[in-house]
A and B are shown apart, each in its own frame.
Chain A
């Protein structure tokens, strides 16, 4: 169903964008490299480039405690909810246990921050599930290191895992792709043993946080072969990144055939990042977004790392423009934070002449190894191949199975009726009013047909 390959590049996509202006007003602490302010900078560029009007804009409802405990443990969430800079003394033990305090500091408003970030990704996933849009963007999300009961790498709650769990209610197979310079360990761990989520991460590996993401880590149990890791070295450039990204992802799309994709767009893989040693420019980074846009598959784009705020804002603005398929000028438009973009005030960044330690032979070998693993996949795995029962019915993505099995005396959930398409030949009124034909047809006859139809 999605295996018909890349579509024409210039197809129109409906794009939803999630943003809450509170997000820029949280602060990790003195000297901390993670700055939520970068998301506000992104938003201002999006506004001033006139990209805003090309999307559907939503302020997401913050994730609730219950939303977040769909992945995270209650104990951990209770801790995040109740601890604050003023009472942390009474949480000494938990802080150690949940790894909060050092690079994941307990800052003022932390829980709210988590609610906003996670709320955005949950809302984005829900919107994609309802097939209201083709692409949903949440730059507040992408916090891929957070574990079930543990903060890690500046991430506290894992909005990506929550979003994917939401997608899995409607999608047989969800693909997660991570182009952050750091390994997407939190997401990989959460789905390490399932074959319904494939995680693919391209990252710097070797004496580098978080220390996972070895090529030989491929998943466990049923999830074996469904975790894919592409460990890279310092200094990778646009062209060498794409030389390995495209073949691998093309193979993944072919073998795994996902019905939804989540792309983590961590911008610390750009040249000049304060933490990341890669040498990508917006063009090479954005090419990954373009790649998935070209497939006819629901796409969720989330943020992630990125520690040179103005380059993060540049990158995510550019990727927003890719999603809506609008050209943007290299001259940055004036905006509230214009001065942050000096000295050149341009959108695009240059690559540096840093040494690329990923030589072609190494990449070729890496690619061959990854593809060899992908070849081992049973062709297009899925729930359909599991023991029959009603799983097979449930796996039908369009909800028709639900409609068929439903109790005729009860109203169908709107998620199902929303997707019902009336046959062209039906002349009677459907459950939904407002069909124009209604006015043309004989009222009596319609009523008669309707009652038949309901049987």
Chain B
């Protein structure tokens, strides 16, 4: 791999966001602070608040709709804007309010946004009710109490010992407790394994980190009672912590052709890997696409793709993809994307 090119900081430019409400199809792995450095003197604190507010809204749109009108008072964004942005449709009846009945978030508990830490008097939130009207704190929640609905059943000590028979975990490495192999022994063993791998055309760590812990080699050593010679004889080693649930053991690497399809699909569907799988690569498991995605991000082709799609917005918006999944499941591959239509299967 072209190490210089890929090293030159994947993160400081790729995840540039020009404002906080458009998802251009990127995984934001840079920090907000770093993004701010790109603008001079951006208002860091405000930006963060925007994000928090955004996260909060996302979290609560479902169960707090009945009170969200209050948000208009405090947010710079209107509900209509937010709904448009996040594709949210109000549920007709808020079933959840029943569960949430004792919530402090309801409008009766007058609250003081800026005095929440003024808690010397633990009742202050309630006693200051006679102040001028302050909008209620729609963000506040309380812990709900109902042993059936909300609390865990706490087991008695010593009881139900029989029920804790879980299937055993797979042991991958436990050092010899009585006579642990020294770092020198391990390092030289791991070095030998690197050589073995080379002679068998297996991938090896780059120069300089030959002695990194090799899970498969250490497992072989453990299973051969820390006898390095016997362990080496057992080579080639099985891949002991392979992601066998998400990646088929015999899954091949991506061919050039597949990589091309993958990149096209990203442009089309964004990172809805399940949809990509269904539409374009049905012979792949979703996990294989995700694993490939994170490897692909380290390659020069990713940089090329980014440059070709600087402000990429997938044709299928994330909130619509649920509908698309349904459509795909119902009709097989679809014909015409209709992104303008309000979704969704989520709300009614």
Interface residues of A (CB under 8 A from B): 18-22, 24-27, 29-31, 33, 35, 37, 40, 46-48, 50-61, 67, 70-71, 85-89, 92, 95-97, 99, 101-103, 106-109, 112, 122-123, 126, 129, 147-150, 152-153, 161, 164-166, 168-172, 185, 188-194, 196-197, 205-212, 214-217, 220-221, 227, 231, 233-234, 271-275, 277, 308-311, 333-335, 337-340, 342-343, 345, 352, 354-355, 362, 365-366, 369, 383, 391, 393-397, 399, 401-402, 413, 415-416
Contact = CB atoms under 8 A, between A and B. Distances in A.
A193 B175 contact: no
Contacts of B308: none
A50 B181 CA distance: 14
Given A102-B62, A273-B31, A342-B7, A354 B157 contact: no
Contacts of A190: 150-152
Nearest to B323: A89
Nearest to B273: A27
Contact of A207 (B56, B95, B164, B241): B56
A421 B158 CA distance: 19
Contacts of A277: 45, 48-49, 52
A193 B151 contact: yes
A71 B152 contact: yes
B157 to A, nearest CB: 5
Interface stretch (B165-173, B193-201, B228-236, B331-339): B165-173
A334 B62 contact: no
A57 B173 contact: yes
Interface string B18-37: 00000101011111111000
Contact of A109 (B63, B145, B183, B286): B286
A365 B119 CA distance: 9
Contacts of A161: 152
Contacts of B28: 33, 274
A218 to B, nearest CB: 9
Contacts of B274: 85-86, 107-108
A229 to B, nearest CB: 10
B307 interface: no
Given A24-B290, A122-B166, A309-B29, 14 more contacts: A30-B271, A53-B173, A57-B173, A61-B166, A70-B152, A86-B328, A96-B62, A102-B59, A102-B88, A106-B322, A108-B286, A168-B155, A189-B144, A272-B32
A371 to B, nearest CB: 13
7 tightest Cβ-Cβ pairs between the two chains A and B: A272-B31, A342-B9, A25-B287, A211-B141, A31-B23, A25-B246, A52-B213
Contact of A26 (B141, B208, B246): B246
Nearest to A93: B95
Contacts of A397: 157
- Residue with the greatest number of chain A CB neighbours at <10 A, chosen from B11, B95, B321: B11
B95 A96 contact: yes
Contact of B346 (A18, A95, A212): A95
Report whether over half of chain A's contact residues are helix, strand or loop; otherwise say mixed: loop
B191 interface: no
A21 B117 contact: no
5 contacts: A26-B290, A29-B271, A61-B169, A92-B347, A189-B143
Given A169-B161, A207-B139, A362-B117, A103 B55 contact: yes
Contacts of A352: 33, 44
A338 B297 CA distance: 12
Contact of A89 (B33, B105, B345): B345
Contacts of A340: 10-11, 29, 298
Interface in B47-88: 48-49, 51-53, 55-56, 58-63, 86, 88
Nearest to B212: A48
Nearest to A271: B33
Contacts of B244: 22
A366 B117 CA distance: 8
B180 to A, nearest CB: 9
B133 interface: no
B55 A209 contact: yes
Given A58-B171, A369-B119, A20 B33 contact: no
Contacts of A394: 156-159
Nearest to B208: A334
Interface in B92-144: 95-96, 99, 105, 113, 116-117, 119-120, 122-123, 125, 137, 139-144
Contacts of B247: 22, 25
A393 B175 CA distance: 36
B44 A52 contact: no
A413 B162 contact: yes
A240 B149 CA distance: 38
A96 B158 contact: no
B218 A209 contact: no
Nearest to A350: B33
B253 interface: no
B209 interface: yes
Nearest to B28: A274
Nearest to A148: B150
B243 interface: yes
Contact of A274 (B51, B175, B321): B51
Given A107-B274, A209-B56, A337-B294, A59 B152 contact: no
A101 B62 contact: yes
B294 A37 contact: yes
Interface string B246-280: 11000000000000000000000011111100100
